[in-house]
Structure 1
Amino acid sequence: MMTRRQKIIKLLEERDYSVSELALMLEIRGKGSKKIILDDIKAIANVVKREGKILLIQPAQCKKCGFIFKPEIKVPGRCPKCKSEWIEEPRFKIGLK
């Protein structure tokens, strides 16, 4: 039986996923589901680094004005440029260094 983090690693090695997609794939629901996945991704970033791999981050982007956020392990709530809450979540993938 694989742990949740092992499942996330396996998924991220195959292709990129957003936080919401990972929560859906792992059937994690509720108010804190994104935080659970983000905490896991932060831990996974350290694990894969020790294995000689890297966590690739496609940054979040505002769907209204196109503002591109810094590539971080977090989901922004509002665009600093236009104040829109219509944000495309960042996407994560595990790759080779």
Structure 2
Amino acid sequence: MPTRRERIISLLEERDYSPSELARALDLHGKGSVKIILEDLKAIQKILKRDGKVLLIKPAECRNCGFVFKPEIKVPSRCPRCKSEWIEEPRFKIESK
């Protein structure tokens, strides 16, 4: 049976996902599920680099004012521009170089 990280990799090779979507796809529930996914994505990014693949990151974006965050493996809680908490999560996808 594949590990959670192997399952994440196979999902991200098919299409892009947000951390919350990955948690639901892997049947992870609870408050810390997105945090677990983010930790896995950081490890996966290193694995992919070694294998000649890239983790593409579509940055998080404020749904209120349109502010675009830096492309990083994290889910911001508040917009620095308008202070809104209405944030579109970043999206991740795997692509071969």
Q: TM-score, normalised by structure 1?
A: 0.99
Q: Indicate whether 1:72 and 2:88 are aligned.
A: no
Is 2:69 the counterpart of 1:48? no
What percent identity do the matched residue pairs reach?
A: 71
Structure 2 counterpart of 1:61? 61
5+ long unaligned stretches in structure 1: none
Q: Report the counterpart of residue 24 of structure 1 in structure 2.
A: 24
Structure 1 outlier segments of 4+, above 3 Å = none
Deviation string 1:2-30 (CA, Å, 9 cap, x unpaired) is 00000000000000000000000001011
- After superposition, give the CA deviation of every residue in 1:15-60 in whole Å (9 maximum; x if it has no partner): 0000000000001011110110000000000001100000000000
Count of residue pairs brought into register by the alignment: 97
Q: 2:16 and 2:8 mapped to 1: Cα distance?
A: 11
Deviation at residue 61 of structure 1 after TM alignment: 0.2
What is the aligned partner in structure 2 of residue 87 from structure 1?
87
Aligned partner letter, 1:93:
K
State the secondary structure of the residue aligned to 2:2: coil
Q: Once superposed, what is the RMSD of the aligned Cα atoms?
A: 0.4
Structure 2 Cα separation of the partners of residues 70 and 19 of structure 1:
16
* TM-score normalised over the length of structure 2: 0.99
**Residue deviations 1:64-83 (CA, integer Å, cap 9, x gap):** 00000000000000000000
Deviation at 1:96, TM superposition (A): 1.6
